[in-house]
Copies of this chain bind each other. A is one copy, B any other.
Amino acid sequence: MGDNILARTTDLAKVICEKYADKGKTAVDATCGNGHDTVWLAERFGSVYAFDVQKSAAEATSRLAENRGFNNVTVICDSHENMGRYVKEKVRLVMFNLGYLPGGDKNIVTESHATLKAVDGALSLLEKDGMICIIMYPGHWQGAGEKEALLQMASKLDKSKYHCVCTDMINQPAGAPEILFITLKT
């Protein structure tokens, strides 16, 4: 993490996520990609479930977790839409880093309907004071629509039950990444 955390969206997201860290609790990496966020979570939570629909990503994540000596990571090669089939306990934090796999096929991206279904699943797994963090990339194809769908969904969440905060880089081009945080208040 650099000196200026506002300059990188993932750094900003992690500064907030860090505050929810708890070695006694469970976290989910809903888009594990190359596994960097998974091991970041594995250092901070008791147990981590990592999902990726791409076999190469799931394998890379398993390898990274193993190489780093983490035995608290369960990697699942399935869509994060099906999260609820695998995660049976309440979770403290769910991270989504949307878009395409870094270094992978840019045609394989998260899609609005699947993402909405996955976030809905994550909401039902959330414990009190737990949080969902979603990094959105409206600059890539489909990303703009996905962001709009997520913000629309979040803006309709019961305000007495959930607290939703969205970040906007107001002096950057329209495609700049944004973060949506959702916490369960009660």
On A, residues with C-beta under 8 Å from B are 3-7, 12, 15-16, 19, 129, 131, 151, 154-159, 162-173, 180-181, 183, 185
Task: From B5, B16, B155, B170, give the contact of A166 (CB < 8 A).
Answer: B170
Please report the C-alpha to C-alpha distance between residue A49 and residue B106 in the assembled complex, in whole angstroms. 50
User: In the complex, which residues of chain B have a beta carbon less than 8 angstroms from the beta carbon of A151?
Assistant: 170
Most chain B C-beta atoms within 10 Å of own C-beta, residue among A129, A131, A158, A171: A171
How many copies of this chain sit in the oligomeric assembly?
Answer: 2
| Contacting pair B183 A155 (CB below 8 A) | no
| Contacting pair B166 A168 (CB below 8 A) | yes
Please report the C-alpha to C-alpha distance between residue A138 and residue B171 in the assembled complex, in whole angstroms. 20
If the complex has contacts A19-B15, A129-B4, are A171 and B167 also in contact, measured as CB distance less than 8 A? no
User: In the complex, which residues of chain B have a beta carbon less than 8 angstroms from the beta carbon of A12?
Assistant: 16, 165
| Contacting pair A165 B168 (CB below 8 A) | yes
Please report the C-alpha to C-alpha distance between residue A173 and residue B162 in the assembled complex, in whole angstroms. 13
